[in-house]
Amino acid sequence: MNIVKDIIARNRSGKAVTLPSVCSAQPDVLKASLLVAHEQNAQMLIEATSNQVNQFGGYTGMTPKDFIAYVRKLAGGIGINLDQIVFGGDHLGPQVWRNTKAEEAMSHAQDLMRCYVEAGFTKIHLDCSEGCAGEPAQVDDETSATRAAELAAVCEKYAPNPNALSYVIGTEVPPPGGARAEEAGQSITPTNPEHARHSLACHMAAFEAKGLAAAWDRVIGLVVQPGLEFAPTHVDHFDMAQPDRLSAALSGTPHIAFEAHSTDYQNDNVFPELARRHFAVLKVGPALTFAYRQALYALDHLSARLNSTRDGQGLSKVMEQLMQDQPGYWQNHYLGTETELRLQRHFGYADRIRYYWPEPAALAAVDDLFAAIKAPVAAPLVAQYFAPDVIRRAETLEVTAGGWARALVWAEIQTALAPYFIGET
């Protein structure tokens, strides 16, 4: 069974079902996510972006083959099989090499596609929306669609089983990594239905021109803006009262549903409503690493109550030093005074701090924190820092997590992810 196609078919038939998509390489986030999917006996996507994982290693240092092996190892360590997990490639296209001429960027993109599908990624987001050197920042729909079809042809050629592939298209996509810039007065506008129809038509024509009729049948998703987003210091919440004008754009393409990016931090009741509006793939990432950081900082404060030699800010001091020493991951994403910048570095919804957790100093500080909280802590003290539902989850995770402290971290992550698992039988 093709998990993705099955979810899409059920959603388009009127069932309020979705496929959660976890976009993260953070090991605790992935383990916690795999466990909650297993708990709910539900399918889930795990996706890597072209910036994060590519044939040259990306910022994680992993190739597509490495990433799948990495996730398999994490899953094996907690006794989870991956039968209901689909690996997806997000924002796959020339974006990483957009500072070069289109011919060179597309050559790299073609190699990228080959590496992804040969490694076992089957859900492929064809993103050719950004211009290359000498081109506009965003290319027109026709150019984007033509390039997407070229990359789909590569996938069809090199995939071990092309029938297992599922493609996502669309030209109205947010930047890789999520979160828009904080700009005064900027509002989020849902995609115009006519634009969605035009994007679909352009891609259909481009696939047909390439002789990719079979591949077009494997297109299952269109990325559009439903009217939600997040910025460093605020969340643009989905307006539940707005009429559903977008669903009509899918008329005539029963095998395609919408994919929503940047759904992080939305209220829980938004996700079933998005499902009813045929958003079958819901992507989340920064909200999960935000929950990871939130739990770690809470534990740091808690540790100071247990040991007077700790000040409750040891971890945040380590992270601040790392971010000051290597500002590249945050300095072009945050605006404000020095105080505002410091707060955004640690607590911003964009969660740029997530890029620093793999640093040796950060890993050592986290290990030190876990070592300081080896046993279950008095319930009233834990309740000072963690919500009741998080504590209840942690109680079921302690053995698998290998300790009470990490169980609380996993529980915080799972609490952020759990609302994405919805579905009618």
Q: How many separate domains does the chain show? A: 2
Chosen domain end from 264, 284, 304 = 284
Assess whether 265 and 331 both reside in one domain.
no
pLDDT for the residue 185: 54
Assess whether 11 and 132 both reside in one domain.
yes
- Which residues have C-beta within 8 Å of that of residue 91, sequence separation ≥ 6? 49, 50, 51, 125, 127, 173, 176
Assess whether 77 and 167 both reside in one domain.
yes
Six token digits for residue 219:
């297109």
Q: Count of CB atoms within 10 A of residue 332's CB?
A: 10
What is the domain-level CATH number for residue 388?
Answer: 1.10.400.20
Residue found by looking up tokens 């509006």 in the block: 277
Assess whether 44 and 163 both reside in one domain.
yes
What is the domain-level CATH number for residue 226?
Answer: 3.20.20.70
Residue found by looking up tokens 């460093």 in the block: 232
Task: Tell me how far apart the alpha carbons of residues 19 and 44 are, in angstroms, rounded to a whole number.
Answer: 6
Cβ–Cβ < 8 Å for 292, 409: yes
Cβ–Cβ < 8 Å for 64, 48: yes
Angle, in degrees to the nearest 10, between helices 338-347 and 314-325: 110
Cβ–Cβ < 8 Å for 7, 18: yes
pLDDT for the residue 259: 98
Q: CA distances (Å), 248 to each of 252, 254, 278, in order?
A: 9, 11, 10
pLDDT for the residue 177: 60
DSSP character string of 102-150: HHHHHHHHHHHHHHHHHHT--EEEE---B--TTS-SB--HHHHHHHHHH
In a domain, 425, yes or no: no
62 DSSP 8-state letter: B
pLDDT for the residue 154: 99
Chosen domain end from 284, 310, 333 = 284
Chosen domain end from 258, 284, 310 = 284
For 391, the domain range is 289-420
Cβ–Cβ < 8 Å for 11, 275: yes
Beta strand pairing call for 229-230 and 123-126:
unpaired
- Which residues have C-beta within 8 Å of that of residue 380, sequence separation ≥ 6? none
Per-residue pLDDT of the chain (425 residues; tens, 9 = 90+): 799 999 999 999 999 999 999 999 999 999 999 999 999 999 999 999 999 999 999 999 999 999 999 999 999 999 999 999 999 999 999 999 999 999 999 999 999 999 999 999 999 999 999 999 999 999 999 999 999 999 999 999 999 999 999 999 997 877 666 555 555 456 799 999 999 999 999 999 999 999 999 999 999 999 999 999 999 999 999 999 999 999 999 999 999 999 999 999 999 999 999 999 999 999 999 999 999 999 999 999 999 999 999 999 999 999 999 999 999 999 999 999 999 999 999 999 999 999 999 999 999 999 999 999 988 899 999 999 999 999 999 999 999 999 999 999 999 999 999 999 997 65
pLDDT for the residue 423: 77
pLDDT for the residue 374: 86
φ, ψ at 20 (rounded to 5°) = -65, 140
Beta bridge pairs of residue 46: 22, 87
Beta bridge pairs of residue 166: 123
